[in-house]
Amino acid sequence: MPNDATPDPYADPLAFGQRMQILRTHRGLSRPVVAGLLGMSPSWVKQIETGQIGMPKYTLVLRIAELLRVRDLSDLTGDQSAQVDLFIGPGHPRLPAVRDAVNALTLGENREAPSAEHLAARLSTAWAARHEAPNHRQVVGELLPGLIRDAQLATRQADTASDRRAAQAVLSEVYSLSQFFVAYQPDSALLWRVAERGMVAAQESEDPHAIGVAAWLAAQAHRDSGHFDAADAMTMEALGYLERFLPDADDRTAAIAGALQFEAGYTAARRGENGSAWGWWDKARVTAGALAPGYYHPITSFSQAIMGAHAVTVAVELRAGGESVRQAVAADSVAIPSRPRLARHRIEEARAYQLDGQAETALATLEKAHKAAPETIRYNGYARRIVLEETESRFPARRRRAAALAEQLGLLAA
């Protein structure tokens, strides 16, 4: 019987090349784009996908998995005996408590809810704690259950339309903080539930800043799932909505517009669209330049200081090794006041150095990332990929250094 259905890439006995082709097609990437981002030729990609060439070496398999956003390496290789989560970190001990709070209805609570102003002050403290703590997931995970329940209760008890909108704006931001905590943990359904609830609350609030933040996070969720078109649609719709508010916008609203502009560039870079990626980065740079000196958006980290780090990310996603290193050298990482954001920047620098063939420097940079915020690097798929790749190095000293870092990240756990 004829069957026109797309084959399941996770069902045996599909070969590596077939899995790669199905996953590439699902991501909407052409062979020339994948070839360019891997530093190979389109004919090589075709030969791999058609089985004329067998599975490449392990280091290249890891890079293909990163490019295609394969969450478990076995999904690409078909080897179920060697499952390695690349873009999903371990479940945090506080995850069940956060999940329970998100799922709670608060219907039976008779206590009086805190005011929106009180909740906003607690949120500000929580964001500050996240930026300052090396173990930021632990800190945020302790604060979130109470914040979630209180913000949900506040929306239920609001007496007036204006009070309800204010409570919804706070609730949306609580969900934004929750999304930072839940990201890259083994509960994708919870991540999407938080993202969707955050968007609904933001729209109910009618607050441009809240809507922009929710869209920024939702676009990231779409892109990290490989849905580039959905990420672009979300970003462009949010930018179009915010445009009317920008002439008189305060710094935080202007900053979320700038963060969305960079997101458009980030997605373009992931597609391999060089001109569009740098064009959007330049628009974001102009927006950042109009912010008050020293301003730092507490949710997106958007600021004048972050644009150097963003340039590194664009170059890395375009797989431009030399340009990535030049941008890394030029970026003023000391000016990034957030420990997790600084650690993320160090990881991007490490990607740049590895692309440029400077593996030893890449490992040293990852060690700096671990020192800044261990919980950032432990949950970062790019860092995990580099470390795993270098544990296979032909140089014993480098293997030992990578193995020590792998042990710190929990990658060698049984």
Tens-digit pLDDT profile for residues 181-212: 998 888 889 999 999 999 999 999 999 999 99
Which residue range(s) make up the domain with 44?
Answer: 16-77
In the block, tokens 């995990």 appear at 384
User: What is the value of pTM for the model shown?
Assistant: 0.81
Question: What tens digit of pLDDT does each residue of 28-72 get?
Answer: 788 888 887 787 888 898 988 888 888 888 778 877 887 787 767
Same-domain check for residues 317 and 376: yes
H helical segments located in 243-380: 251-271, 274-289, 307-317, 321-330, 339-355, 359-372, 374-378
Q: In this structure, what are the phi and psi dihedrals at residue 72, rounded to the nearest 5 degrees? A: -120, 130
Residue 9 in any domain: the answer is no
Same-domain check for residues 149 and 187: yes
**Which of the pair, 23 or 216, is modelled with greater confidence?**
216
Burial of 318 (0-12, 13-18, 19+ CB in 10 A): buried
Residue 264 in any domain: the answer is yes
Rounded CA-CA distance 114/404 in Å is: 47
Among the candidates 157, 174, 206, a domain finishes at: 206
Rounded CA-CA distance 35/40 in Å is: 5
Rounded CA-CA distance 4/127 in Å is: 50
Rounded CA-CA distance 225/222 in Å is: 5
Range scoring the smallest mean pLDDT among 47-61, 213-227, 384-398:
47-61
Same-domain check for residues 285 and 347: no
Residue 135 in any domain: the answer is yes
378-395 CB burial, b ≥16 within 10 A, e <16: bbbbbbbbbbbbbbebee
* Overall domain count for the chain: 4
380 alpha carbon, distance to own chain's centre: 8
Whichever domain contains 347, its CATH number is: 1.25.40
Residue 82 in any domain: the answer is no
Rounded CA-CA distance 185/90 in Å is: 6
Interval 395-409 mean pLDDT:
90
